[in-house]
Amino acid sequence: MLNIHEKIPLATTSAACCDELPALRLASDEAQQLAQMFKALGQPVRLQIVDILSRFGGKVCVCDIESQFDLTQPTISHHLKALREAGLVDYEMRGLWAYYFVRPAQLQQLRMLVGEWIGGQPT
């Protein structure tokens, strides 16, 4: 039950502050990068794309991804780009086809962070 104002008369406005609450552990740039990964997953279509790639566990042709959604090709391409820029997936060209796959190390980063968060607590 943390509260900087606890036991300080209500009238007092700016109280000496918060050595109890540790400063941000996530440096701003680190938070930026992690947030970009979460954000990429924070869109149902992209979440499902990552789910497809992860569960298939290999390289999947864009055409197969497209066929799972009722969206235009440019829209899928746009979402794939967002996932690439977040570092969550990568791809490889083979002739005309592009094969996408997840980057497990990046997913691992997310799992580790969330794991640290709930590490101490009972489920």
Partner DNA sequence: ACTCTATATAGATAAATGTCAATATAGCAA
Partner DNA sequence: TTGCTATATTGACATTTATCTATATAGAGT
9 binds DNA, rule: CB under 7 A:
yes
CB 91 within 8 A of CB 102: no
**Is 72 or 108 the residue whose CB approaches DNA more closely?**
72
61 binds DNA, rule: CB under 7 A:
yes
**Is 74 or 123 the residue whose CB approaches a copy of itself more closely?**
123
CB 84 within 8 A of CB 95: no
Query: In which region does residue 19 sit, left (phi positive, over 0), alpha (psi from -120 to 50) or beta (all else)?
Result: alpha
111 binds DNA, rule: CB under 7 A:
no
Q: Which of 19, 22, 24, 95 binds DNA (CB under 7 A)?
A: 95
